[in-house]
Structure 1
Amino acid sequence: MSESEPERRHARQCVSCGINIAGMSAATFKCPDCGQEISRCAKCRKQSNLYECPDCGFRGP
């Protein structure tokens, strides 16, 4: 059984470590520079792992 189009659009990955964060306690926010939606898992947020915006390259803790 394949995913429907809306389910694929809502599938999110942590921009720091790449894990699927759908249904997890994660943060989703807009990039401070370009407004692209960024998602991070709870573990990467807690450890203050660096992230990079996939659109503009902005880096943050």
Structure 2
Amino acid sequence: MSQSDADGTPARTCVSCGINISGTNAAKFPCPDCGHQIYRDANCRKQSTLYECPRCGFTGP
């Protein structure tokens, strides 16, 4: 079972570094291959840190 906030919504974490992105300047986009929702924090986006989709394994910059 995944982490959740006090209100019962799932915690959103950066797929690259794993930090909680709630209330931050983060990006949300569908995986180009399977459409799974991906979240990335501003720092990982700025540094072009690689990410991997947890559902299909697609990797991107």
Provide TM-score, normalisation by structure 2.
Answer: 0.87
Which structure has the larger Rg?
1
Aligned counterpart, 1:28: 28
**Alpha-carbon separation, structure 1, partners of 2:43 and 2:13:** 13
Identity %: 65
**Alpha-carbon separation, structure 2, partners of 1:12 and 1:40:** 9
**Alpha-carbon separation, structure 1, partners of 2:19 and 2:40:** 9
Unaligned runs of 5+ in 2: none
**Secondary structure in structure 2 of the residue aligned to 1:29:** strand
Aligned counterpart, 1:58: 58
Aligned counterpart, 1:18: 18
* Residue-pair matches, total: 57
Judging by fraction of residues, say which structure has more helix.
1
Provide TM-score, normalisation by structure 1.
Answer: 0.87
| Structure 1 residue ranges, 4+ long, deviating more than 4 angstroms after superposition | none
